[in-house]
Structure 1
């Protein structure tokens, strides 16, 4: 979610092969282009996936090893020593689940989700800030309230990018500085995300973990641009930025190889490429989701997009259009994307709240056509109950799950971040949008 719209000029596109940089170029049953652009070559990763990588990087990457990189990559900050491949203490260490038997993890069944072996409609919420809390008791308090409320999953930020190292005690996950990337795996770094995963396991909450922000909050794409150059639109094809981004993804994914708390990995929060051909984001989604599947084939992967760019049920309004570089149906059709995501903020898009029901229904048709579940992943109105309750009802009829933006709670030391959409635990809006909604499900 972002209150202000971010608009950036799109760079002129160069002539490319059908397979874009970082795109798939081979593998079992692959019927697409096997040629890469000049300066790139097709490198084998596993029997079902080969990827176009820079020629200069091919000597340092092979098979299932760390992805090719054209930048200096450090696996830990100078103030930390924790391994990037460590897992939370409560994650099972001796259990292995193969891709042919994913039933122990959340997965899809047609247009529905299956969690803990149960197929059905599920309710959740967002708490981007929970991985930045420094008090474990605060994390546990929120998780316990979610559990008692009947919420089943929680979407959190798995990123916190900076361009200069903060003072001690400030939480940050990745330092992008002087053309290199340093991942902080210590107590003020990814150990904070570790505890969120551990607490989610203890409270039977499933997590959607997002890897980068389209917006400037907590670094996001802007932090990569500051370090590697280019712009917010060229980021999707910037080899150095994508290399660092994929290395970061692998560092996070590798921490939780068997955790039952992972609902899905998510590429980005609200990716946009204003004015670009939709192929830019579509190719990036294909390449990145395939990369994630190559290192973790058992977990679901989603985009984190808003649902923009949809012809089915379109009324011609801005959100249905393609100006932000998104094609909802094209990206939903990618085989390594397990479900669709939809966001809903009518007031930010110049629409009335009542318009939201048609937005949900149109996407429901598109999701059914694709044979995949879709999640109303973010939604909010300053009117709260009167506007959002009808959206929830429409989602139950048309989609597979919903998660409102955002969860609010009293941590004792103060309230969690409060924007105009926050729904605080125990409030009257909470009764309407959580208690009553869960009962309706």
Structure 2
């Protein structure tokens, strides 16, 4: 999800707001690390055909996004509480962000600082040691993590910081995927992060980017960016991760757009530079991803029906076609847009009956955190949270 900025819907000439609001980045500062709890997570999650597998048995991938756990300066205890809420709801998995690009020390958590064109990964107490706490807290609750390594959008820096710092202001967004110096800098960050956790089974997967597209929050695409550009980059980056880490799965993190030029619906026409079919087909990509935001994407005439079709198409055209798991990795609506219980009940039922491998709602709320609420946060004790719990049980029963 693009947390902060409005999005222009192609072909409409209008700007629509995503179903989110500005996210605060201040809480109690954490300066200590949490001691490693007794391990309750053993073995690495793998894939077997269209399913996930753990230690020879089916692994049900179900849960909630929690981008904020390593970015809000939470204490280790608050992190444990946050993942505890998810575990109590029956979640097995959470997706979280492992990036924050800065050009000056903000005095709070960040993961990489830039001095001109030179980046330095923050391995200190408010850097990778902070992410150690995230991993430990998830592990203490038996939660596996999908770890996203950068962002298409400007939230917490993102890929445009690489392009601007190395190549200068005003360069096309998609140079992140194609410029050799930029790619090398990203590989350096990825390598530092991945090698730190190569033997940690709490990590379920490394994810290349949150929602890659040819264009970003404020930077446009070059005339040369096509779906082949991002597919080539994903092929290179996923192979790079596999070369240094054979334990963990790798996913792209794309929104699931199709590449059918001439299609009347821009989500299917390839104009975003994304080809979910080609991305999922990459040998070094272990499972496919797609997101679903009917209102942000101007699918307002029949948002429920759009969701039904979007889930079915990714199940049939991608998961079953390539015999790989595919997950609905982000989805959400605001209560002001559509009754959430009605919408989520229908889409959860689609996941189960269509046979999709798993899903992660956007996003988890917690009894210990309120200031990461973007409007879609699901808090314990609410009717939507109860629905999440019921769905987790149903998906585990389906297998």
Smaller-chain TM-score range? 0.7 to 0.9
Shift of 1:121: 3.7
Deviations, residues 205-225 of structure 1 (Å, cap 9, x unaligned): 000001100000000012112
TM-score (norm 1): 0.75
Aligned counterparts, 1:26-37, within 5 A = none
2:215 aligned with 1:264, yes or no? Answer: no
Shift of 1:91: 9.6
Aligned partners of 1:361, 1:228: CA distance in 2, in Å?
A: 42
Partner of 1:406: 363
Deviations, residues 174-210 of structure 1 (Å, cap 9, x unaligned): 0123110111111111111111111112211000001
Residues 255/249 of structure 1: CA separation in 2 closer, same or farther (3 Å cut): same
1:307 paired residue among 249, 253, 256: 256
SS of structure 2 residue aligned to 1:318: coil
Q: Is the 8 A contact 1:88 1:255 kept in 2?
A: no
Aligned partners of 1:320, 1:374: CA distance in 2, in Å?
A: 18
Aligned-pair RMSD on alpha carbons? 2.5
Q: Is the 8 A contact 2:327 2:356 kept in 1?
A: yes
Aligned partners of 2:391, 2:373: CA distance in 1, in Å?
A: 22
Partner of 2:117: 179
Q: Is the 8 A contact 1:406 1:423 kept in 2?
A: yes
Residues 6/251 of structure 1: CA separation in 2 closer, same or farther (3 Å cut): farther
2:394 aligned with 1:440, yes or no? Answer: yes
Q: Is the 8 A contact 2:227 2:259 kept in 1?
A: no
Aligned partners of 2:340, 2:310: CA distance in 1, in Å?
A: 17
2:63 aligned with 1:124, yes or no? Answer: yes
Residues 359/7 of structure 1: CA separation in 2 closer, same or farther (3 Å cut): closer
Aligned partners of 1:349, 1:398: CA distance in 2, in Å?
A: 25
Q: Is the 8 A contact 2:98 2:150 kept in 1?
A: yes
Shift of 1:106: 0.3
2:380 aligned with 1:419, yes or no? Answer: no
Residues 285/91 of structure 1: CA separation in 2 closer, same or farther (3 Å cut): farther
The runs of 4+ residues in structure 1 deviating greater than 3 Å are: 87-92
SS of structure 2 residue aligned to 1:377: strand
Higher relative contact order (CA closer than 8 Å, sequence separation 6+): 2
Partner of 1:384: 340
Partner of 2:25: none
Structure 2's unaligned 5+ residue stretches are 11-33, 216-220
Q: Which of these two proteins has the greater Rg computed from alpha carbons?
A: 1
Partner of 2:79: 139
Partner of 1:363: 314
Aligned partners of 2:60, 2:259: CA distance in 1, in Å?
A: 24
Structure 1's unaligned 5+ residue stretches are 9-86, 93-102
What is the count of residue pairs matched by the alignment? 349
TM-score (norm 2): 0.82
2:53 aligned with 1:104, yes or no? Answer: no
SS of structure 1 residue aligned to 2:53: strand
2:247 aligned with 1:298, yes or no? Answer: yes
